[in-house]
Amino acid sequence: MASQARCLVLALVVLSPALLSEIATAQPPSAAEIARGKYIFGATGGCGCHTVPKQPVNAGGRKYDGPFGTVYSSNITPDRETGIGGWTDEQIITAIRLGRRSNGERLVPVHPYTVFNGMGAEDLKALVAFLRTLPAVKRANQPKKITVPMFESVFLPAWLAAFAPQETPPTGVPTSGPARGEYLVRAVGHCGECHTPRTMTMATDNSRFLAGNPKGPEDSEVPNITPDKATGLAWSEEEIADYLGTGNKPDGDVAGGLMGEMIEGTLAGYKDLTKADRLAIARYLKTIPAVKNKIGK
């Protein structure tokens, strides 16, 4: 009896919570979870920044120039050597929402962790389960070229502490209504990364949320999508939802550039969002403050 009790105590000590959760996550994800992950992957625009157009999906190497230098997106295929195949779920989730790699290195905020931080735990887990089902591609990451001295040791931590807008992770994932639209726009769809103007420090200026950026990523001109009558988005909710599903604008034109890419996605994109989710996004866009900011001619 006594030895049995000792065994039990030992077992309880050995099966620490960390180990227990490891055992729990060791079960293969269900088909439903993988499908949910693919849906979320689409809702981010297909993680397109990690794919050079017409090259293997998620293999990285797409170039981004910033005021601090040049970075190349990472290989996020399940290749164990050059991708994220050797990382635990927790390590991948930490990189997505906190911008830390498994070796402790910081990611530059070109990867939008300051907003992905607002993604719900179930969505992140499902996303990782989906990423693991994709073909592994062996392609070494290209080192970044930082031109600002002490950028990573001094500037980046100070910048993150002072300026980077931090979303708070939701306790659960909102499934309907305005909260769903807000969640898809602010966190998963990260619309603000392109559509919100930036301050002198290059942080998004959230006092002018989605008011457009004359010089957005890859030098794109990104329109004002606040409800401002003169300079913003005047489309109906139905028209916005259709645009996100097809790329067709009410005037007969089609989405181009980076927005076209986000809608089309890679293995999935905004176009694969349900009508209900596209309408939730459209309705949410009607509720944000109108900001006068003329982009383009």
Residues that bind ligand HEC (CB under 6 A): 45, 185, 189-191, 193-195, 217, 220, 222-223, 225, 233, 240, 243, 249, 255-259, 262, 270, 281
CA distances from 238 to 83, 162, 280 (A): 40, 39, 10
63: which DSSP letter?
E
In the complex with ligand HEC, which residue's Cβ is closer, 28 or 67? 67
- Contact criterion met (CB below 8 Å) for 46 and 268: yes
In the complex with ligand HEC, which residue's Cβ is closer, 39 or 87? 39
Q: Which residues contact 78 (CB under 8 A, 6 or more apart)?
A: 84, 85, 131, 132, 134, 135, 136
Task: Say how far apart CA 132 and CA 139 lie, in whole Å.
Answer: 16
- 263 in helix, strand or coil? helix
- Contact criterion met (CB below 8 Å) for 126 and 40: yes
User: Two tokens at 197?
Assistant: 């103007």
In the complex with ligand HEC, which residue's Cβ is closer, 85 or 227? 227
Shortest spacing between CB 105 and ligand HEC, in angstroms: 24
Shortest spacing between CB 82 and ligand HEC, in angstroms: 25
In the complex with ligand HEC, which residue's Cβ is closer, 52 or 85? 52
Shortest spacing between CB 244 and ligand HEC, in angstroms: 6
Shortest spacing between CB 107 and ligand HEC, in angstroms: 17
55: which DSSP letter?
S
Angle, alpha carbons 280-290-277 (nearest 5°)? 10
In the complex with ligand HEC, which residue's Cβ is closer, 29 or 189? 189
Helix (H) or strand (E) holding 281: helix 275-287
- 5 in helix, strand or coil? helix
In the complex with ligand HEC, which residue's Cβ is closer, 29 or 265? 265
Spell out the SS3 assignment of 142-155.
Answer: CCCEECCCCHHHHH
Shortest spacing between CB 229 and ligand HEC, in angstroms: 13
Q: Establish how many alpha carbons lie within 13 A of residue 201's alpha carbon, considering only the half-sphere containing its beta carbon.
A: 16
Shortest spacing between CB 245 and ligand HEC, in angstroms: 12
Shortest spacing between CB 285 and ligand HEC, in angstroms: 6
Shortest spacing between CB 59 and ligand HEC, in angstroms: 19
- Contact criterion met (CB below 8 Å) for 184 and 43: yes
In the complex with ligand HEC, which residue's Cβ is closer, 156 or 222? 222
In the complex with ligand HEC, which residue's Cβ is closer, 209 or 243? 243
